[in-house]
Amino acid sequence: MSQIGIFDIVGPVMVGPSSSHTAGAVRLGYAGRQILGEPVRRADIHLHGSFAATYWGHRTDIALLAGLLGMAMDDAAIPGAKKLCCDHGLAYQFHRADLGDVHPNSVRLQLQGESSHADVQGASVGGGRAAIHRLDGFAIQCDGTYATLISRHKDEPGVISEITRVLGEMNINIAFMEVSRRRRGLDAMLVAQTDDPLNSRVIQWVTGLRGVRQVWCLPRF
């Protein structure tokens, strides 16, 4: 049984009005921005379920844009996110979408930067908490509790052991790890949640390993 903390009861420090539709949405946008790894230049935002039905009244649209700009959920600048998007050259479009059998507060973020792109799907799960469930078509689980290393790599023997070896040599302890793939022998995705912070050196070392195609390092969000 998972433990409930005091902040699960009283709620997070945030710019409202809603912990699930506003604060959690900021966190989802922020996670998408961190995965992209650079400023967002274009965002196609697909809102599902309750998000699609009530986003205007709960300011979910503004919250998601604020997160994509890199704001935390207590940033006083959140209400002005749409104007800041214009100032920072972030073009966006909102769509209502059916994402299937997923949490009602789900969103798919198709993001484009100057040199990279990302397709991120996640949900605001209550109390300002958020979780990422899909990345570039791969099923993953990441809720921002831990710093997280994500690698996209060739599905072949030895790649995972090399990644974990590098993390061990850098004194980074893995708390949880999962691997998914869509088809044997093609691409696979590793998600390692770590007790220790990650930095650009981790990306550099892991990216240089045989079979590794792309690496993301997410801070706690």
Residue 214 has pLDDT above 60, yes or no: yes
Mean pLDDT, rounded, of the chain: 90
pLDDT tens for each residue of 54-66: 887 678 999 999 9
Q: Return the number of other C-beta atoms located less than 10 Å from residue 9's C-beta.
A: 8
Question: CA nearest 218: which of 116, 134, 143, 121?
Answer: 143
- pLDDT range class, residue 18, cuts 50, 70, 90: low
CB burial of residue 204 (10 Å; 0-12, 13-18, 19+): exposed
Q: How far apart are CA 217 and CA 203, in angstroms?
A: 7
pLDDT tens for each residue of 19-29: 667 889 999 99
Residue spans per domain, the chain? 12-123+130-136, 147-218
**Is 12-123+130-136 assigned to CATH 3.30.450.40?**
no
Instruction: Note the pTM of the prediction, 2 decimals.
Output: 0.86
Q: How far apart are CA 163 and CA 188, in angstroms?
A: 13
Q: Which fold has domain 147-218?
A: Alpha-Beta Plaits (3.30.70)
Mean pLDDT, range 22-49, rounded to an integer? 95
